[in-house]
Structure 1
Amino acid sequence: MWEASDYNSQGWLRLPPLFWVVLVLQARTWVLLVLAGASRQQGETLLALFYPDRTAFWLGLLAGIPAALAFLLSGRRHRFVRLWRGWRWVLIVAQLALSLWQLWMLAQGEAETVTALALLIVDLLAFWWLLVSHRLRACFEQVGTFT
């Protein structure tokens, strides 16, 4: 089903590029934190712009932990096979939680409507892709190596 070029040098299926986009989407608060830290003079302003409520900021960091761990696990999935196999479901649950949180913030009027609506649509698309992508599922379920 997969071609030889779909495998890395260790014999594992290469993760689809969209997987990395979804991880950045899930870890968006962490990305914002890094950007704010890089810009020391305007970092506080940047954080206040996207997260005027500090509670939402901390919840965003919490919601991004599964994606941050997936970044770390992806390079060592051959060493943590059992953990890696279940991690797709952790990412699916985290994406569902992010989508519901975004919907709640939109319903409460706590976020800018256009931005919140765009994030909700992207979150729902990411949730759908995590559920239905055959290639991604194969990357998480793969046991052996390519021969």
Structure 2
Amino acid sequence: MKKLNFPTYSFRFKNSENKVAIFDEIRKKFILLTPEEWVRQHTLHYLVQDNKYPKSYINVEKLIKINTLNKRYDIVVFQPNGSIFLLIECKAPEVAITQKTFDQIARYNLALKAKYLMVTNGLNHYFCQMDFENKKYIFLSELPQYENL
């Protein structure tokens, strides 16, 4: 797998029927290793190890309904009160982050109302804080640490 723009983390892998799987510590199971999953796993380690977000507040790949369509978000981090603190969209490294990507996460956030957004392809990371009053997002240089919530 391609080297990503994250610190180095250790992962557990498993080979089965000529396919490689990576252990997801949030879902507590092995997941088929695709380029997007490689980014997702790095992002999860970044949240837990570097930003100190509790694993118990993180949710991965859950179904949401946007209007009448069923969609699936990549990662959500909840606050202790149950509201959504952070919504993350992961793309494979070869997928460029474009306006279309920001439109996608903005559509998801209409339903989820996260305070912060992160978009990453593992090489480029974008962090935003939502300004719901003015209907825009403010770009940040990094995500807040969990203890600063």
Q: Structure with the greater relative contact order (CA < 8 A, sep ≥ 6): 1 or 2?
A: 1
Larger helix proportion of the pair: 1
Larger strand proportion of the pair: 2
Q: TM-score, normalised by structure 1?
A: 0.26
